[in-house]
Amino acid sequence: MANLKELRLRIGSVKNTRKITSAMSQIATARLRRAQNTALAARPYGERLKEVVAHLIGGIDPAERSSAHPLLEERPASGGGNHTLYIAMTADKGLCGGFNGNIHRKVLATLRADREAGNKASLVTIGKKAASFFSSDEGLVGSHPAPTLATIVELSKAVAADATGRFLGTAEDVADEERPNKVVLFYNHFVSVLTQEVTPNQLCPLQPALSEGGSEGGSGNDSAGAFQREPIFEPGRGEILEHLVPVAIESMLQQAMFLSLIHI
């Protein structure tokens, strides 16, 4: 049986531990609030930019989109079937509940389904956990670190350059016949502190806005009901798309990183 001195020492140790864990909880809460506020503040810009670009694309005939911008090209499946480049975004660390595991399971199931259907699927990872999990996958072609508030802008540019370079065939390690037909990002969309939804987001080719009837179209109401009539562009639609399409892809990556960063 412990004597009085040992009990007092144990009580003191527990109190000190409680102080430390309380301080860690306060720091974590402050970091969560800062990341959440940053993500929510950036969301309106990203969503509006995506709407504008989707509306501009919808006003172009599908057969002419590739001439408007190469990142809008809808390429038919080659002899080996469709080729999709998937980007899986996770964290560098593992103390995030199902944050990493949900991405792993969803991307793995998607890769298997594509390959079983006779299609080609390649993979780029963001975060050490995804890089480790998919390290032996035959389709792994690149990896990037997980985002932080300090690196999110430069990282989104790097990932966008990597993805678009592979889509266009301008990357050094991509032959013309190995170009993917599309690029899809998988990330955890923030719903609440306890809830994240694994969400796919097609980056290339960018998609047009949908009308209320579900068909493509730039005039009339789009999916968000933001545009009521066709605007007049100055400069022309092509010049605007030349600048906005790469910016929109970077913005979509930034938005996904901001939303994921809340839980990393």
Which residues are annotated as catalytic?
96
d(CA 241, CA 187): 26
Cα–Cα distance between 208 and 61 in angstroms, integer? Answer: 11
- Strand ranges in 90-174 using DSSP code E only, listed in sequence order: 120-126, 140-144
Cα angle value 143/149/154 (rounded, 5°) = 50
Q: What sign for the dihedral angle of Cα 256, 155, 84, 109?
A: negative
Instruction: Kindly state the tokens that stand for 1.
Output: 């049986």
Written as six digits, the tokens of 226 are 């933001």
Q: What's the CA gap between 32 and 38, in Å, rounded?
A: 10
CA dist., res. 253 & res. 201, Å (int): 9
Residue type, 78: S
